[in-house]
Structure 1
């Protein structure tokens, strides 16, 4: 194994570095009380559930998530959770099992990329704002997961473009690994796609149906939106080497289910960027649009020379979110594709009340292509993209 470690640091996420408007101390007193009450309740549940599973003989393991990076640095994400001795990470199961996962907070994790170890720098932990703790600001052979078990690292190391392997290990467990997609600087086009009702039918606007599909439906029975895998494959053929980023408001708890869906239904492989649903006092739980907007902005910053194709649906707030992105980053969005939900998919309490549960198309200078299936979008979008091959 190489002896020169890769320098790494914790990622500056929204939870770690809230803006001046997001900090808990500037919120109204009632908001501060409610947030502290809910986060305190979650903390109590975490501690009690951890005591219970440790009594059963469970101990921490790592759930590795697919990472991505540039030629200069890589984004690595994993989570430490409690599990029985014979449990296997990444095992596909119904969402309810994933949602009941017990986090293993502040667990020491050793990580490596292609067998080269990471040398990490730990930072402090504060309810109001993360400040550097000088007593821990030292290089270390391990990183420590946060209070909900998440570990989000930026590894500063030059890698050749392509797929690499990231390995994580904790005490008493065999190392586990996940892919790391290193995006070449030559890639001029990237695709950011929503998951729910864009590539996978979940009926997100109908709350009870979305909950059933997320929590109880057999992952192998989840249906793909007709024609979307063909659309994505044609885009991949048109832009060889273009990275696909899958952005979803689903929690990391169901990552393995979505990952296997992407593979089973023939969609191009790529990083999944999901949401942490564990409440934190500083920024609490980000809304779906906030989560998508922040990750899209992160990708814009990570790949400043890349133009993006944004793919979503009108069942949530993708049209508004994508319009915001195109306005904030003029010239960076090549096209927007919005899949229109059928009346059956979008019907719910809103339609009963005489309201619409879908959003109008985004108002933007960027071309917007719509359709109820991938095939509908393909007919109008592909000719336009062929004219704008970079």
Structure 2
């Protein structure tokens, strides 16, 4: 019986199962969780070296998901909720739940426990069927929020290189411990996190077009390089054979609008780069939500034509303060003039 179930799920009987609970965001009465149920491929980001980096990248992208798996979510006050994965193994819980803020820590993080709710799968499950999940509820001390891109904004990626070869090389052959942040970026982000008061716990949201397959890689980079902890919002890695519907709106616009609509009384700082479409996206967002955007910072990438284009866009943009910077210290000085940081 178990063997038949596993064959239908395209899994091997010897492979343990796991649940990835992603760092999401919500409110005191809105539970919003996303994650994925899949096989444990044995990814170990602590192993360094060229070969281990490639092996980890391969394992992250060849993940075997669990479609239609029944899951349960338990809060620290023992309330339990149920959900089911889609055809790609992803799950989403999006519902009204009271009294969530009371369960958060001093930084606003709600700790959850995820597990399988299927007796046929429990023999293969690690961690006694207990997997962590986290949801951010902005602190009442928050002065504003920060929404940031990742690639070529805090992480040197090479997205403007010919055929994006540097992105491919770094993703496949560079372990997370050898990925370098931009000088001063972590310090600037921590100052934004603490705000003008120095103790604000401003919520951080990292929004990237990178696929969910790289979630733990990027989570480790953020943690290892002392960037403030925040919600991490990536996208599905689509192939020509995808069985899930294609999103109606581009990923970044969709995620940023969701954040702004979730916290309509909160203002935000947007941070990106001049490498691809951040300038266009942020200008569009600021024009749509002019009262919610306090400032826009775009890191200048090493690409003359793109920098020239972005500089022209910003010269005509008057909705909110916007700055193209080469160094984090330039953004930091500007943010201090706007009373965003100490």
TM-score for both structures, normalised by structure 2: 0.80
Deviations, residues 207-233 of structure 1 (Å, cap 9, x unaligned): 111111123211111100111111111
The answer on 1:103 being equivalent to 2:65 is yes
Cα distance in 2 between the residues matched to 1:151 and 1:190: 26
Q: Equivalents in 1 of 2:214, 2:96: separation in Å?
A: 28
Tell me the equivalent position of 1:139.
none
Aligned to 1:25: none
Asked if the contact 2:9–2:67 (Cα under 8 Å) also holds between the matched residues in 1, the reply is no
Between the aligned partners of 2:16 and 2:224, the Cα distance in structure 1 is 31
Listed as ranges, the gaps of 5+ residues in structure 1 are 1-46, 120-141
Q: Following TM superposition, by how much is the alpha carbon of 1:377 offset from its aligned partner in structure 2, in angstroms?
A: 1.7
Equivalent residue, structure 2, for 1:40: none
Distance 1:112 1:278, change over 3 A: farther
* Distance of 1:91 and 1:237 partners within structure 2: 30
Residue 372 (structure 1) aligns with:
326
Contact map agreement 2:193 2:201 (CA 8 A) in 1: yes
Instruction: From 85, 89, 96, give the equivalent of 1:156.
Output: 96
Distance change >3 Å, CA 232–CA 327, structure 1 → 2 = same
Q: Give me the whole-angstrom Cα distance separating, in 2, the residues matched to 1:246 and 1:208.
A: 23
- Are 1:224 and 2:181 matched, yes or no? yes
Give the distance between the partners of 2:244 and 2:83, measured in 1 at CA.
22
1:384 aligns with 2:338: yes
1:132-281 matched pairs, under 5 angstroms = 142-157=82-97, 158-160=99-101, 162-170=108-116, 171-172=122-123, 173=125, 174=128, 175-185=130-140, 187-206=142-161, 207-239=164-196, 240-278=200-238, 280=242
- Tell me the equivalent position of 2:246: 284
Who is 2:269 aligned against?
Answer: 309
Could you tell me how far 1:283 is from its partner in structure 2? 4.5
Deviation at 1:285, TM superposition (A): 5.9
Q: How does 1:40-51 map to 2 (within 5 A)?
A: 51=10
Contact 2:143-2:195 within 8 A present in 1 as well: no
Contact 2:35 2:91 in 1 (8 A): yes
State whether residues 64 and 90 of structure 1, in contact with CA within 8 Å, keep that contact through their aligned partners in structure 2.
Answer: no
Per the normalisation by structure 1, the TM-score is 0.71
Q: 1:377 to 1:318 in 2, by over 3 A?
A: same
The match for 1:127 is none
Whether the 8 Å CA contact 2:139–2:203 is kept in 1: the answer is no
Does the C-alpha gap of structure 1 residues 227 and 117 become closer, same or farther in structure 2, counting only changes over 3 Å?
Answer: same
